[in-house]
Structures are given as C-alpha cells and as structure tokens.
Structure 1
C-alpha cells in the first residue's frame, strides 16, 4: 500500500499531544492497513463537541485505508475514569447506561463508514467481555502485571491523592486496569495495534501498551490528541449557557451553528486544521490573507457550515442559516415553524403568554425595557421591530397578523437584542 504520511499530516494539524515510537508507527501505517481504536464512556445521554476531535481523527485514518474501531464503555462507565477529575463521578445504573449507549452509538454511526468498505468501522461494547470475567481470574492474570508504585505515580492519580478533601476510591483506582484490558482484548481479538484518545488518557493508554507487551510480547502504539481550550480561556465546547451537545434535542442545530460562528478570530484557522479536511497549505494561505476582502468572515462561515452539516445534516444547516438571516439580515419570508421552535428552545430569550396589553408591556416582559417610559422612548425612536418590521406607534396593540403560524411573535430591539413571544392557546371550558 502507498499511504500518505498520515502522522506528518496530523503533526501539521497540531493533532498530536503524545505519540509512541513515532518513526516505527509512521512506517507501519505507510505500508500496512492497521486497526486502531478509541473509547467513549456513556456517562451522559449525548456526546458533546469535545468528542468530535477523536471521531474526526478516526475518520482520517479510515480514509487512508485503516480500520477504526469505536469502543463503547458500557462496563467502564459503571466505574468512571478518574483522570484529572477533581472528585469521583456519580455512579449511574445499568439501565441508564444502556439507554445512553444506544443514543451515543447512533450519533457515532454518522461519522464513519460502516458498510461497503474493506476497512469498515466497527462499534463494540466492553460490557461483552467484562460481564463474563471472573474477579479472581482478573486479579491473578491481569493485576499481577501492574505495580501499585507506578499506578500511584500517575499524574492524574497523584493529584487526587494529594487532595485532603477528595481522595480516590479503589473503584476509580481500578479503572486503569480495566482500560488496559480493553486494549489487550482488542489487540488479541481484532488485531488492534493503536489506541488514540485525549491527552488525559495517556496514562490509561500506556497501561494497555504495557499489558500487551507483558502478556503477548507485541509492539503496539499510543497517540493522544490535545485537550482544547478556546482563545477566550473558556474550555472548548462550553458557553455561558452550558455544554454544546451533539444531540439536537439538547442543543439545537441553530445554537450549534452559532457556537462555531461566534468563536474567536484567533481560533478560526486552528479549528479549520483540527476539524476539517481542507489541505493544510490551503488553510495557511487563507490565514495569510485573512484580512483581505473579509476572508476571515468567509472562513468562519465555512467552518460553521461544515461542522453543522457534519453533525446535523444539510436540512438542519439550512434551518440554522434561515434563523440567522432572520435575526441578523431581517429576512423573515422563508421562516418555518420548526425554526421558531428551535429559537424558543435555546436560540434566543423567549416568554410564554396568554395575552399582552400592548407593545410597551411586551418589551418589559421580554426584558428589553425596564419601564413603560423607556419602552415608549424605544418605540418612537425607531429601535423596535415586530417580526423584523419597524414599529413607531407607541400605543401599538398586537393583532393576529403579528402571530407567525398563530403562535410566535419576534420582538427585536436594534440588531442584537431579541425575544420570542409564544402565544399559548386559551382553551375555553363550557359547563
């Protein structure tokens, strides 16, 4: 096989935090098709944007002819990975984890090719082998290969041991052995020779490499990806209102789109390298010309569109762009009812009402004005719009024409301050 030097490309994209035996691994993946894996513990009902980097990296390997294996931690999630966590995770029950596993498996399925390829991706669950294992056999055959001294000196463990308020339980301490056993089983059953993960997984990956070497005398590899921070100091995937999830029920496609649209300018080209398949040379040229002809605005739009299409599909991307056009370009003609339901959920502030006396009262209820006097001044000064249409009548009273789909009214103050009114139906009861 004649592969492009994928490891060099990953380095150019700043996608490597740690790597073992780099030159040997480079030669291996250049001339052979390997199997690699990354694990995802279902500790929530959805993945979030922080999980995108390993998924897209698996895709890069698959496009070069390698077989990606996704391991769902149906068993290990019952324990909880302590790596660089300040305190022990809440332990969830089997039935909840089984449901989350189903959700996450469905999400992952859209990122990789599972049919029609020689190197089809595979999704496995470590619950399959841990359910059958005997604790005495595990301690005797696996535990004997690990030194407590080495395990205690892992940085993630040391941080917890030093804390007087939060130590580390034996349950969490054992996680390192469980993940190492995952790598061992996958190497034995699926010939997996490379594990990838976030840089916080380096200790766990190293443990797996150690176990395989001790039992099977085989050479395997580890590669970790950087844990991302945004230039504004906020953890990647976080906003003022919380985590950006991949599940559209938890984070609407519009809000997801806006997350990428609102990243700092200093992050645009870094994220284009990390998350997209644009050639590095092209990204470098774009960055050099970023202040010519609003290039950086076009590139930020490209990133927003690419990531939203990747996670939510073309239809939801078009919806997110329609909503954006409504709020910022004042084009409401093509709005759909589903777009307004997205806005109501987490796009912009919203209120639910049965009736409102007039526009002044609406501005106060929407927190766009503090008093009727202030509201009146805003209206007469041409600052207020209803469904993108300017209103200057200080005594304006709503009518049915103001209700989009008989349910919604969009109130705007200037270009950036919006509120969505949801008119609740009044059900008349007859006796």
Structure 2
C-alpha cells in the first residue's frame, strides 16, 4: 500500500476512498504545500440527493477536514444535457423551472456536511450554468471541441457500454464529457481549482478535463476517483426495496433514514463506518470486530453517527428511541410512519404500500401469507383483510424491523 505524506491522501486512503489517482506523487506534494481547491459536480436531476451521492459529499467533507477547500458544483448547465455514465437509456430532460427548483432544494443537503464561507478552506457552491449558458456554439467547437477525438470518446465506458447494448446515445449526451471537461478548465481559471474527485465511472471525464486544461492553459490538474460502493449483497448503494434513501428530510423521515443504516449487512458495517461517519478509525476497528448479536451495537453506532451528520443529533437520538419503542412492543412511537384510516376502511395491502412497508401488492400478499404482518402483535392471515377505524392508535408491523401507526 502506498504511503502518503499529506493529511488529505492519508485520510482518503485510510478510510477506503481511493480507487485511482492521476498523479499521486504530484498531488501528495501539492497538498503538503498549499490549500488545494477541489470540486465534485452534482446534476440537479431531482429535488434531493440520496445516499448514492453520499460518498461524493463525504469526499468533499474529508477535503475540508484536511484543511483544503471544497467546491460544490451544481450542474445547472449539464443537467440540461444529461450524463450518460451508468445509464442504459436517455435521461428525461428538465426545463429551466424544474432545474431551478431542484437546485434550491438540494442546496440544503450540503449545508449539513460542509462549512460554507469566505475562509481559505470554507466551501463554496457554484453553478456551471453561469459559464456554460454563455458559450457560443461555433467558438466552443473551434476552441474546445478540437481537443477531443471521436476515436477516444468511443473508448469510454459511458459511451461504449451504451453502444454495446444497442441503446440509443444522443448527440446531446455525447457532448456531456466535453462540457464536464470544460467545467474543470473554467474552475481552474476562476477558483484556482486543482483537483476533481468523483466515482470510478467519472475517470474518463476527469482525465478529459485534466488534459484539456494542460493543452489550452498549460495547467497541472489532478484527479481522484473512489471505488464503486455496493452493498455486500451486490445491490446498489442508496437504494432499498422501497426506493431511494433521500438525504432531504421532506423526502424521507428521520426514522426511515436511521433505519436504513441500522439495517446494514454485518459484512458492510466496518466499511460504512469509515466511509460515512467521522468516528475515529481506532474506534471503528473495535466496532467491526464485534461478533454475533454484539454487531448490533456497531450498527446502532453507524445509524446514530450517519443520521446525526445528515439530520442532526436530536433527530438521531429520537430515531433510536423510536426504534427501541417499536421493537420492544411497549408502545407507539410518535416518529413512526403514520396512516389515517379512512372512515370506510382500507385494504391491508394498500395500507402497507402507502406506508412504504413494501414495494408492491404482490410483495404485500407474500408477506401476509408468510405470517410476517401483524397489527398490535396479532398476525394477519387474510390478504384481503380490510383495516377499519379504531378508537385508539394501532401498530402495523411487517417483520421485526418495519413498523407504522394506524390512526383514525
């Protein structure tokens, strides 16, 4: 394993963030001499980021913790094009109003993880529409496009895989890598940005930006990618059976966010503690060494630390208390998902879907047939059961870990 001298690369390596580096020795030396402005771009394709974006956010947090300057680039311009990386089909294009609304909404996610301000290592947030929207097409093709060859662009995975699967790749998407490379050039000019970070699928885009800046401005820029983060069962990070795990509170409750981390596979606990919390690595080593039922203590530590970082200390404590009450069966926790039962009742399978306790009616029926669905501890045997209003709140449970309140 390479030994680094800078706090930045040592920390990234120690916690498992490094997959590839364009010039490790050069970046290591630079990070010891000066504050290094570093950026990651986030397209505004939804009103919230999700756990799948969290490694990128944590990379910027580690940059700031090591005394360097994070630059959050919101892709107000590139969102209009759509990144083809990892996609099998064309991304739905948003209008200006939709993009603006998404940008306003996702800004709040970053404020939980980074300190913004005017200091040397304070984070800043910029929108690439500020320069991309001003480009003239012909001058851009002449000055920037001539540095890209079709031959090489066809070798990048984002293009190659789409073509191999015989899925359409629009000319619009094909230009995305040129625009992202231009982002790096523009950021180096405006903010002296020297480093771009991103997931492993962004390697080609990052290298493009480094080479473009070298050819046009003679600048020396650097790139670091993180490994693809998947869970032990092979599923994609940031997804659950009920959909995306959103960072914004208005998209996902504090309890559900906490519960996502609490349900981490035993095999992932140590890795996720390093990636998604600020707990010291020495403490993490002790937690991941726990075996049997004791590993649940590590999962609770992960859930508390990850939730506190994203939603605040109070939210984490309340979520843990809600879980204790729900799992013990001693009471109804107020933070649990709640459904008001209509006067004419509601089918049990419909209630389960509305409360996000399952993903489909088929899954709901299978859970009922398997004996995993209970109301106030009593098993529901009939998949056609209708829940009728009651004078008191009741608890609907699916398995041992999913609970909700039925109220009138």
Given that 1:35 and 1:69 are in contact with CA atoms closer than 8 Å, whether structure 2 keeps it comes out as yes
- 1:325 aligned to 2:338? no
Q: After superposition, what is the alpha-carbon deviation per residue over 1:218-260, rounded to whole angstroms, capped at 9, x for unaligned?
A: 1110001122110012111111111111122222111111110
Q: Aligned equivalents of 2:147 and 2:203: distance in 1?
A: 18
Given that 2:245 and 2:257 are in contact with CA atoms closer than 8 Å, whether structure 1 keeps it comes out as yes
Larger Rg: 1
Q: Give, in angstroms, the shift of residue 143 of structure 1.
A: 0.6
Q: 1:215 to 1:314 in 2, by over 3 A?
A: same
- 1:385 aligned to 2:384? no
Match of 1:422 in 2: 407
RMSD, matched Cα: 2.9
Number of paired residues?
A: 379
Q: Aligned equivalents of 2:205 and 2:227: distance in 1?
A: 15
Q: Aligned equivalents of 1:59 and 1:228: distance in 2?
A: 17
Match of 2:343 in 1: 354
Q: Give, in angstroms, the shift of residue 15 of structure 1.
A: 0.7
Match of 2:132 in 1: 130
> 5+ residue gaps in structure 2?
353-363, 379-387
Q: Give, in angstroms, the shift of residue 182 of structure 1.
A: 0.4
SS in 1 for 2:406: strand
Q: Give, in angstroms, the shift of residue 351 of structure 1.
A: 6.4
Given that 2:304 and 2:317 are in contact with CA atoms closer than 8 Å, whether structure 1 keeps it comes out as no
> Residue 107 of structure 1 is aligned with which of 106, 109, 129?
109
Given that 1:386 and 1:409 are in contact with CA atoms closer than 8 Å, whether structure 2 keeps it comes out as no
SS in 1 for 2:270: helix
Q: Give, in angstroms, the shift of residue 331 of structure 1.
A: 3.8
- 1:310 aligned to 2:309? yes
Q: Give, in angstroms, the shift of residue 363 of structure 1.
A: 8.1
Given that 1:46 and 1:246 are in contact with CA atoms closer than 8 Å, whether structure 2 keeps it comes out as yes
Q: After superposition, what is the alpha-carbon deviation per residue over 1:31-60, rounded to whole angstroms, capped at 9, x for unaligned?
A: 211111000000111100011111111111
Match of 2:44 in 1: 42
> 5+ residue gaps in structure 1?
345-349, 375-382, 388-396, 424-431
Q: 1:413 to 1:278 in 2, by over 3 A?
A: closer
Q: Give, in angstroms, the shift of residue 277 of structure 1.
A: 2.1
**TM alignment of 1:11-410, pairs within 5 A:** 11-115=13-117, 117-164=119-166, 166-287=167-288, 289-291=289-291, 295-332=294-331, 335-336=333-334, 339-340=335-336, 343-344=337-338, 350=339, 352-354=341-343, 385=376, 400=391, 403=392, 408-410=393-395
Q: 1:189 to 1:411 in 2, by over 3 A?
A: closer
Q: Give, in angstroms, the shift of residue 115 of structure 1.
A: 3.2
SS in 1 for 2:224: strand
Q: Give, in angstroms, the shift of residue 313 of structure 1.
A: 1.4
Given that 1:327 and 1:415 are in contact with CA atoms closer than 8 Å, whether structure 2 keeps it comes out as no
Q: 1:53 to 1:419 in 2, by over 3 A?
A: closer
| TM-score normalised over the length of structure 1 | 0.81
Q: After superposition, what is the alpha-carbon deviation per residue over 1:298-343, rounded to whole angstroms, capped at 9, x for unaligned?
A: 111110001111111123223322321221023437x44xx25xx1
Q: Give, in angstroms, the shift of residue 297 of structure 1.
A: 1.7
